[in-house]
Structures are given as structure tokens and as C-alpha cells.
Amino acid sequence: AALKDGLRSQVSAALKEGRVTPTELCQRCLALIKSTKFLNAYITVAEETALKQAEESEERYKRGQPLGILDGIPIAVKDNFNTAGIETTCASNMLKGYISPYNATVVQKLLDQGAVLLGKTNLDEFAMGSGSTDGVFGPVRNPWSYSKQYKEKSVPKSHSEDEESNWVITGGSSGGSAAAVSSFTCFAALGSDTGGSTRNPAAHCGVVGLKPTYGLISRHGLIPLVNSMDVPGILTRCVDDAAVLLGSLAGHDPKDSTTIQDDFKPFELPNLTDVSKLSIGIPKEYHAPGLSSEILALWSKAADLFKNAGAKVVEVSLPHTRYSIVCYHVLCTAEVASNMARFDGLEYGHRSDKKESTESMYAATRREGFNDVVRGRILSGNYFLLKQNYEKYFVKAQKVRRLIVNDFVKVFRSGVDILLTPTTLSDAAPYTEFIQEDNRTRSAQDDILTQAANMAGLPAINVPTALSERGLPVGLQFIGRSFEEKQLLTVAKWFEKQIQFPMIQLEEVKRHDNGVFQHQKSASFS
């Protein structure tokens, strides 16, 4: 028992020993949220309920009966998860003012274990996008824009230019969650991942982003985008913490019939020392056009790291990789067209004043409620689903999907345990540059390395690897076999330990720094 505690030191132990109380933790996080408001990471801060939850947690610690490792831990949730009594907007006019009548299963699970829900984080509208720039509450700013590391490297183009125009994006669509974790305002956050929406911002914000196997974690209460690919995502500051979150969230949910029925056993990650039995696959097609030379070099270095430690590192081929994004585009828009049909103004959400007919009311409601990106995807999706196009596009894409899945099956069957790839093509772009291209183009470019894992339902994780020349985080991605999260996370943890990714140096956090934040800064709560 003592050895177990030794491994899982820091915040959890501090809470148990009374060195810090849940209320203190909660208050510090709330204060930091206020002072980092310029990041625009949060849409709703649930101050009152969070403090109440913290107080209840404190009572339990006083009685020596904490619910578990997550008791009293402040967390944030992406605003496309239903949270009872708290506004859930999906960053859209369509759901402004919508107060969820229930908790998503994953939210309920966190609350049942005593986690403190600080608030709902910002995203691209309805999780459509790769920058967290296209929501009605404005874009999210990457905390690293304000880091010492980035400021040291940036050369102002003119003396009148200040950091206001220089800030970089978080990536998306779970940008708010990634920014929240990265800026220490919470210990972990929930995101969602349909094409890379958890891993992409994780890479840009220097945090761990885990996309679990499809079917492992319940989607009940997660406002759906693509039912056959969506998964709740986990964002934390270290791999161990991701394993803790996974342990508390995974498992069959009778309310989500796409969750597998097998029993899930939460696990602690072993400290892997011997990688000689490991076979790492390097898919050559992931050397995609546009991949920055920096990231290519890091990817290579990482492969060497494994090789020098005794692992078998082999080049593999996933021949249909370049069609993956096209396939995704068709399937995604088709499912979106279907999923967005529920927004008609009758039962919830925005409702137009038009009264002539249901159709005209629905049309006006949707006209007023959805932004260009959402409307564009709905229309494209409907096009691909037209009778004359159904076989040509939708069914064709479903066939190509099978080919993509088979590519992975073949590679894993050949003895490869884990695939190692870059997560993004480059480090985070400045906002002013990012918005030069439209959402669809950006998504097509940025999702290229992440979305095949969603196609195949495989677990994948971004591990922050190094800082780019501009002083911004770059991450690498590990993709594992279906339902083999333990192996995936074990390898990711080993890698994380080898590279020692630097901590962000933020002025705001220094100001609030005291004993409590020492725990936060030591990166993990587990």
C-alpha cells in the first residue's frame, strides 16, 4: 500500500494528508480562470456549484472517506457534453440558453467520484473545426502564446505590434479543454474526438490527449457529430493521469448501445523499463505533404529513441491513408446531416418567430441558429445522401472505410504493437494566419494525421514531445490496437519519461503560485 502511494504522489496524496483542501484547490482554480479570461477557454464557469462540490468533498476527506482518487479534483468539460442545470451551448446560437436536464454519462461518472466540475469549455461550433476559432463565443487562445518560451522566440514585426496580434490558436475542436489543462486551471478535462479533436489541440497546447477505442466510453449525453466515430476524449498533463481518467470513465453503459459489454478493469500503468519486446511501426504514408521538417526530425528522433532502447522499429505501410480524409469528409457530412436534423426549435434550443408553417419555422430557426460551417456540412451531407448519389458517394465511402480499417488490421497482424506518427503537420499557427483559409480546407489539412484512427475506431494518444523553433509545443501520436489501452498508455508513459517535455512558464500561474500550485505544476494529480 505504501509503495502504491509513493507512485501516485502529489495532489491526491496532498488532499488525503490534508496539506491542501478541495475548497482551496477549487478557489485557486477559479481565481486562475478569472485571471486567464483572455484565453477564452471557458464558456461557462460554474462557480457556485463547483464550490459546493468542493465543500462536500472536503467533508468526505475530513471523515477519512474520500470516494477515490478523483475526489475533490477540479475538472473542466467541453461544452458539447450535457451537464444538468448548467448551460450547454456547443458554442452555437442554436443552443444558447439551453440548460441540460441531465448529465452525460461521463459527466455523471466524474461527479459520482467526487470530481469538482469547474465549467464548460469553448470549442468550434458543434465541434466542427480544427482551430477552436469558429464558435459564437469567439476563438480560444493558446496559453503558450503568453509563455516565456514563445515570447523569447518571437520577433515583433514592428514596434506597434504586440502580443495581441501574435497569439496562436489552440487547435481544435476541443481547444478550450486543452487550453484549460495547459494553463493549470484544471487538472483534467473532457474533450471529444471525431477526427482528431482531442489530439490536435493536445499537440498544440503541450498536453496529453487520449482518444479511447470506439465503444469503450459511453457517448450518452455527448451531443453527436458522427455517431460511428465520436468518442469522449481525455486531456491531462501526464499519461498517468489519463489512465486514471480512463479508469473512471470506461465501461458498458446501458444507455449507449454502441458501448461494448465486456467488463472493463481499470489499471495502473507499469513503469516499463524493457522495451526490447516491443515492435513499433512507422507508417510511411504519414510523411504527409506539408509535414514540417521540424516535426519530421522529431519523429525520426523518437523512432531512434525506441531503437536505441532495444525495441524493434519497422517501417510499415497503410496504403489507403491519403483517401482517409476524403472518406471521412463524406461519412462525416452525411452523419452530420442526419444528426443536425434534430435542431428544429420545437423541443429545445433556439426557435425562430416565423409561424406560417412548421417547415418555414424549422428553416428559419436553422438559418438563424447555425453558422456557415455547420450549414455547409449539412448541405454537403444531404448532397451525398441524395438517391442519385447514395451509392456513388456514401456507400463508396463506407467501402473505402473498410479498406482503411483493413490496412490497420494487416499491420497489427504482422507483429507491430504500436504505431508512431506525428500528430500535426506543424506547430500552432498564429490566429491571423489560420483564418486566411476556410474551415473545410483547414480541417482537411489538419485532420490528415489523426482521423484514420477514428475511421478504424482505434485508440490513439498525443504525447507532448518538444518545443518547436518558435517555442511552441509539438507532439507525437501513438496508435494502438482496439481495446489495448493499457499497452498504448504504457508505451506512451515510457516515452514521456524519456523526453521530459518542458513545463510552460506562464506569468499568470507564477502570480498565483504557492504551495498549492506546486502540486499543479508538478504536472499530475495521480
Partner 1 sequence: QKVSVEVLDHLEHLALVDFRDLEGVERLQKAIQFADQLHEVNTDGVEPMDSVLEDRWCLYLRADDVTEGNCTKDLLENAREKVEEYFVAPPGNIPLLKLEERDTFLQGS
Cβ atoms of residues 105 and 259 within 8 Å: no
At closest approach, how far in Å is the CB of 428 from partner 1? 25
At closest approach, how far in Å is the CB of 318 from partner 1? 14
C-beta of 99 vs 296, nearer to partner 1: 99
Cβ atoms of residues 282 and 311 within 8 Å: no
At closest approach, how far in Å is the CB of 280 from partner 1? 23
Whether omega for the bond prior to residue 173 falls within 30 degrees of 0, making it cis, is: yes
C-beta of 98 vs 267, nearer to partner 1: 98
C-beta of 58 vs 253, nearer to partner 1: 253
Per-residue burial over 461-482, b if 16 or more Cβ lie within 10 Å, else e, is bbbbbbbbebbbbbbbbbbbbb
C-beta of 307 vs 354, nearer to partner 1: 354
The grid cell for 175 is 481547444
Report helix angle 321-339 to 396-413, nearest 10: 130
The grid cell for 433 is 494566419
> Beta 418-422 vs 473-479: how paired, if at all?
antiparallel
C-beta of 76 vs 327, nearer to partner 1: 327
Q: Give CA–CA dist 189/109, Å, rounded.
A: 13
Which residues are near partner 1 by CB under 8 A?
A: 98-99, 101-102, 214-215, 228, 254, 257-261, 320, 323, 326-327, 329-330, 333, 337, 344-349, 351, 354-363, 366-367, 370, 372, 375-376, 378-380, 382-384, 386, 392-393, 395-403, 405, 438, 440, 444, 455-457, 482
The SS3 call for residue 136 is coil
At closest approach, how far in Å is the CB of 115 from partner 1? 24
Smallest Cα–Cα separation from 142: which of 471, 476, 437? Answer: 471
Q: Which residues pair with 209 in a beta bridge?
A: 235, 462
DSSP-assigned states of every residue in 355-377:
-S-HHHHHHHHHHHH--HHHHHH
C-beta of 167 vs 362, nearer to partner 1: 362
Q: What is the DSSP letter of 145?
A: G
- Looking up cell 491513408 gives 321
CA Rg, the chain, in Å?
A: 22
Dihedral (CA of 477, 480, 482, 486) sign:
negative
Q: Give CA–CA dist 372/194, Å, rounded.
A: 19
Cβ atoms of residues 184 and 509 within 8 Å: yes
CA dihedral 211, 140, 164, 439 (to 10 degrees): 80
At closest approach, how far in Å is the CB of 216 from partner 1? 10
C-beta of 297 vs 395, nearer to partner 1: 395
At closest approach, how far in Å is the CB of 264 from partner 1? 13
Catalytic residues: 78, 173, 197
At closest approach, how far in Å is the CB of 163 from partner 1? 32
At closest approach, how far in Å is the CB of 438 from partner 1? 8
CA dihedral 176, 267, 113, 33 (to 10 degrees): -20
C-beta of 151 vs 402, nearer to partner 1: 402
Cβ atoms of residues 10 and 525 within 8 Å: yes
The grid cell for 168 is 496562436
- The residues near 277 (Cβ < 8 Å, ≥ 6 apart) are none
